[in-house]
Structure 1
Amino acid sequence: MANNKIGIQTIKLTNPPSIIAANAIVGPKEGKGPLAKNFDIVLEDDLYGEASWEKAESKMAIETVKSAVLKAKVYLEDIDYFVAGDLLNQLMASSFAARELQIPYFGLFGACSTMTEALSLAAMMVDGGYADYVVAATSSHFSAAERQFRFPLELGNQRPLTAQWTVTGAGAAVLTKNSGGPNITHITTGKVIDYGITDAYNMGAAMAPAAVDTIKAHLRDTGFTSESYDLIITGDLGIIGMDIAKEMLVKEGINVKNNFSDCGVEIFNHFEQDTHAGGSGCGCSAVVFCGYLYRLLKEKKIRKLLLVSTGALLSPTSLHQGESIPSIAHAVTIESNL
């Protein structure tokens, strides 16, 4: 019998781990958005002094982990596990970061849901007594993602209004045993949901049903209501996907009128910055959480947060073969004080 499991998809942590430090690095465009003052580093050059966008992304991952560990007042040698992922083939950014960091490493792929996947597994490791310190991190880069999943940037292809802008950024959080919060108290693991969307430029519509399914499962398993939370925030549904998710939740009788948002909506001034439907990418919920929401939790401006990162599990191969876009969402409850 799984003692910590409640309901079908959720676990309640016995000794809720604390997130003792977080760090966020973003690119120039993100640094011009409404959350700019919350990020630790804003790059002036999205190549970050490297020879390629992929190397720049890996460097962001390395530096945000080092900075988060420094904030936690521990050493890299104290970290038991590094759990991380990105959007690139074979997790290139994260794996190359792990090569330099030399921390025991679990590479994760949940597309843009990877930050809450990483937080979930890191929290279980600490709660289960398998680690004293774990770093959860993710990254993405607009230029690297565009040329892998869509078109070479040199072509200058026009993007439809449903398209989202992959966030250039990396976020990292350090978890340890309960030391005063913010604490991860509940984890709801999502299921793969596919409503048959095939348009890679409309990922918000593809991911919205997965977000709704996970939120419903979380509330069902825990007995919480949407009003139990100061904020329920999805990962990167963007403007279109968030509207779809809200409509679906209301039809399910879940009131999210006053406490629902999306990291992809929050990170950009969409009309001024021409990001169309909003932000996306592994780095989206990572930098919004590690740079903005974490500070609100530390300052107790938010006391109970449901972070629901969302991911479109497509690949260049699946797209070329005409497959639809399966999606997933993972949720973690984070409380500022217990």
Structure 2
Amino acid sequence: MRLLLVTLLLFVNQNARGAIEQKQTVIEGAKASVLVDPELWNKKLIVVAHGYVPGDRPLLDPLNKNDQHFALFLESGWMVAATSYRRNGLIIRDAITDLELLYDWVVDEYDRPELTIVHGSSMGGMIVSLIAEQDQSRFDAALATGAALRLKEEKNPLALKHQPLIPLLFLSNRSEIKGPAAYQKKSLKNGKNAALWQVDRDGHVNLNTKERFQANQALELWLAKGEIELTRDGTIDMSPEKSGTELIDGVLNVPIRKIRKSYGNLTLDLIRSDLEAIGLKLGDRVKVTYQNQSHACLIGTSYGDVKVGEWVLFQRADGYYLLSRNFADAASTLGISLGDTIQLTLAEG
């Protein structure tokens, strides 16, 4: 393995149980990162296969030590490792290699894990499904969330065989269940088991950290006891009771909780009761205002509810709302920063 160490950074995040360490490096051009509490590490590893990122975007460190996405895993002693892949765009074959190189780097830096589960979302779900069909010396099980199973690279594409060789669990929203259901049916015909858990919520990979953690625990038990519920409801409600939004004279003043750099999507400190306070519901249009800009926005369930370039506001699995432009960059369009505030009002007409 050729390893180019461009930078090695250690970050410390004090918490109730210990100190989270982050290591960053570059492997074959891919930005790789690890999060772990060395004192808590139970020799278990999550390897993350991310989804599609447009080819013109810069490669970014895939992990953030302050992100709550993997907090439950870290608090439970897991190590989390991720890679940007060596390039963005539709990348599958090389992404598998990059994930293998990431695993090898973790072994060199820390030790060989006793258990490794690979997680993949959207395009990453296709990637980990293919990994599950390969003879493995690295990965013990695979969790595919919102798996985009129809994706194929133009040159030398890899095709699914529907014969997983390691435990494979699909965790899917009800609105994108068909692909994983077809995979499960074909795999059972081939004498292989693939589990499919449905989350009773619309959207694309609209899943929260408790639902992922629960599915991961099920894979652990599958490995330990050889049993799993092949189909079940995997929904867990995490809706918050309060938000940071203020209602002043019929205007919702909404803080920005998070900006996703790879897409420019904005997570708002906004919950359903805030919208209901000014009479807004699913299917309505809202006016989004920031400084001297205003945009009409649909309150929907997912990105695909609007045409390319249009604005959509929908509730995520953690109960907070996401503001997005379909296949465009909401943050760059607005010129907004983390902690800024936008205004939401009833759209005219």
**TM-score normalised according to structure 2 size:** 0.28
**Per residue, is there more strand in 1 or in 2?**
2
Higher gyration radius (CA) = 2
More RCO (CA 8 Å, sep 6+): 1
**Per residue, is there more helix in 1 or in 2?**
1
**TM-score normalised according to structure 1 size:** 0.29
